[in-house]
């Protein structure tokens, strides 16, 4: 009897160690991907669980990237200003010179500027990058295109509750953390009669070409 009990204890301890190891690794990978966890709160703003490299501004807008539209006279329309939230439809494309996306998370870099930036020059059709953008993306987005362009600017967002384990009888247990999460991707680019070029900006700082 004692032998069986000891074997069961050892087996359960091993299961516990594996579970803790898997938990730590999954949290680390999810944070690196840019998944943001929240716990429900009584106020308007949820409590952020994953603070990894987040700029304090993220708490205000809950956006991983924010855009600003720069016009040909130097004036700027910000997505989020002190008293207003602007949308794509508010952009005057006839006067638009460039669109700049700036991250609300910080990059581990020796540069003085710690945010990531992606800039689309509307007239040239070229992109510039700061603290982000792999070489293959940079090489594919530095060729000028003088055609008239339709600007593409939107976001995809997944927001959900974390779900508990499904048991053998089909029951789904409540998640013990009670957390919610969001995963957001941001798209910036243009389309002409002969070409479409759209970048996807991820919440971990990665940038890729949307196929």
Nearest to 188 by CA among 110, 108, 126, 106: 126
By CB atoms closer than 10 A (0-12, 13-18, 19+), residue 79 is buried
**Scanning the structure block, which residue is given the tokens 């243009």?**
190
What is the rounded average pLDDT of the residues 133-148?
Answer: 94
The answer to whether residue 28 scores a pLDDT higher than 90 is: no
Per-residue pLDDT, 94? 93
Count other C-beta atoms under 10 Å from residue 63's C-beta: 20
Instruction: Please give the C-alpha separations between residue 28 and each of 23, 50, 156, in angstroms, as whole numbers.
Output: 9, 10, 23
In order, the DSSP letters of 27-55 are HHHHHHHT-EEEE--SSSSPEES--TTB-
Residue with tokens 């669980």: 49
Alpha-carbon distance 52 to 36, whole Å?
9
User: pLDDT tens, 57-67?
Assistant: 888 898 999 99
210 touches 189 (CB < 8 A): yes
More confidently predicted of 101 and 159: 101
Q: What does R_g of the chain's alpha carbons equal in angstroms?
A: 22
H helical segments located in the chain: 2-33, 58-61, 135-140
Q: What is the pLDDT of residue 181?
A: 85
Both structure tokens of 156: 């995809």
The answer to whether residue 87 scores a pLDDT higher than 90 is: yes
- pLDDT over 60 (residue 43): no
Give yes or no for residue 127 having a pLDDT over 70.
Answer: yes
Confidence of residue 44 (pLDDT cuts 50, 70, 90): low
91 has a pLDDT exceeding 80: yes
Among the listed ranges 26-30, 192-196, 206-210, which one has the minimum average pLDDT value? 26-30
Tell me what pLDDT residue 29 has: 87
Q: Are strands 36-39 and 180-191 parallel, antiparallel or unpaired?
A: antiparallel
CA distance linking residue 203 with residue 32, whole number of Å? 9
Residue 63 and residue 51: Cα distance in Å, rounded? Answer: 13
In angstroms, the CA 118 to CA 211 distance is: 18
* DSSP sequence for 103-125: EEEE---SSS--EEEEEEETTTT
């Amino acid at each position: 009897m004692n032998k069986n009990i000891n074997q069961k204890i050892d087996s359960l301890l091993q299961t516990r160690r594996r579970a803790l190891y898997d938990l730590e690794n999954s949290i680390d990978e999810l944070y690196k991907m840019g998944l943001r966890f929240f716990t429900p709160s009584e106020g308007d703003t949820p409590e952020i669980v994953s603070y990894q490299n987040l700029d304090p501004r993220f708490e205000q807008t809950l956006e991983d990237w924010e855009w600003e539209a720069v016009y040909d006279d130097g004036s700027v329309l910000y997505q989020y200003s002190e008293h207003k939230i602007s949308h794509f439809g508010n952009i005057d494309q006839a006067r638009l010179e460039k669109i700049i996306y700036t991250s609300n998370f910080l990059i581990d870099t020796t540069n003085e500027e710690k945010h990531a930036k992606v800039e689309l020059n509307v007239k040239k059709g070229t992109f510039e990058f700061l603290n982000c953008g792999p070489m293959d993306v940079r090489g594919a987005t530095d060729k000028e295109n003088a055609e008239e362009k339709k600007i593409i600017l939107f976001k995809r967002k997944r927001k959900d509750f974390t779900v508990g384990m499904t048991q053998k009888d089909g029951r789904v247990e409540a998640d013990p953390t009670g957390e919610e999460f969001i995963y957001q991707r941001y798209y910036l680019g243009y389309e002409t009669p002969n070409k479409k070029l759209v970048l996807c900006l991820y919440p971990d700082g990665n940038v890729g070409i949307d196929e």
